[in-house]
Amino acid sequence: MAHPVQLGFQDAASPIMEELLYFHDHTLMIVFLISSLVLYIISLMLSTKLTHTSTVDAQEVETVWTILPAVILILIALPSLRILYMMDEITTPSLTLKTMGHQWYWSYEYTDYENLFFDSYMIPLLDLKPGDLRLLEVDNRVALPTEMSIRMLVSSEDVLHSWAVPSLGVKTDAIPGRLNQITLMTSRPGIYYGQCSEICGANHSFMPIVLELVPLKYFEEWLLNML
């Protein structure tokens, strides 16, 4: 999860988030090179005498500054489209989890099992234990298996919400009367935190999300205890 004065993204815990980090670095390098070139040209204009003031026609220069930006845009667009298609790709899920947003808590239902559902509320400040994270801990964590394709069905029962976990690279709106779907897969076990990312009322900042990703063996043990 994020730590104080952090400037970059959180560590990636899913293949999609890893791709997003690579794309961010790729695009940032292009922006850095363009900014350096523009700054260099501006500094030359301010520090040297103007030359070729009588130039009327410069077809070669115009060709370069027309084609070069188009090439740069293609270098940005192609990897971006690739990641968009990867994020929208639907595979056969091993598990389906339905998430419903409420004012101001989340409810979860494991639709592959009977009577396995619960609500997840933020733990009040006075009930926190030493080491717990303020505004991020919940009374019921969501347990999911690692390295398996998981289908998330997200909706809402009242107003707009947004279910987001930055480390996994997932964020989707919870809209009343509409069912949104995302595919989730993690590459390593751990506890991952998120929050509602859509302003949904007075207690919008008190809707944390906590996922506990464990190997399949431990997930099956958790299921036996819950059923």
Boundaries of every domain in the chain: 15-88, 95-226
Read off the tokens for 223: 């299921």
Which pLDDT tens digits describe the chain residue by residue (227 residues)? 777 888 888 888 898 999 999 999 999 999 999 999 999 988 988 888 776 666 667 788 888 888 999 999 999 999 999 998 888 877 788 899 999 999 889 999 999 888 899 999 999 988 888 988 989 999 999 999 998 999 999 999 989 999 999 999 899 999 999 999 998 888 889 999 999 999 988 889 899 999 999 999 999 998 888 87
pLDDT for residue 52: 67
148 phi, psi to nearest 5 deg: -135, 145
pLDDT for residue 108: 95
CATH code of domain 15-88? 1.10.287.90
Answer whether 171's CB lies under 8 Å from 197's CB: yes
The CA distance from 59 to 73, in Å, is 22
Q: Cα 27 to the chain's mean position, in Å?
A: 17
Burial of 11 (0-12, 13-18, 19+ CB in 10 A): middle
Q: What is the pTM of this model?
A: 0.83
Beta-bridge partner residues of 142: 211
pLDDT for residue 109: 93
The CA distance from 99 to 106, in Å, is 7
pLDDT for residue 86: 87
The fold adopted by the segment(s) 95-226 is Immunoglobulin-like (2.60.40)
Angle at 35 (CA atoms; ends 34, 39), nearest 5 degrees = 120
Closest CA to 14 of 149, 151, 195: 149
Read off the tokens for 57: 């026609």
Burial of 170 (0-12, 13-18, 19+ CB in 10 A): buried
Beta-bridge partner residues of 176: 156
Q: How far is CA 84 from CA 21, 89, 93, in A?
A: 14, 9, 19
- 109-141 burial, b at 16+ Cβ within 10 Å, e below that, comes to bbeeeeeeeeebbbbeeeeeeeeeeeebbbeeb
The dihedral through the CA atoms of 64, 70, 71, 75 has a sign that is positive
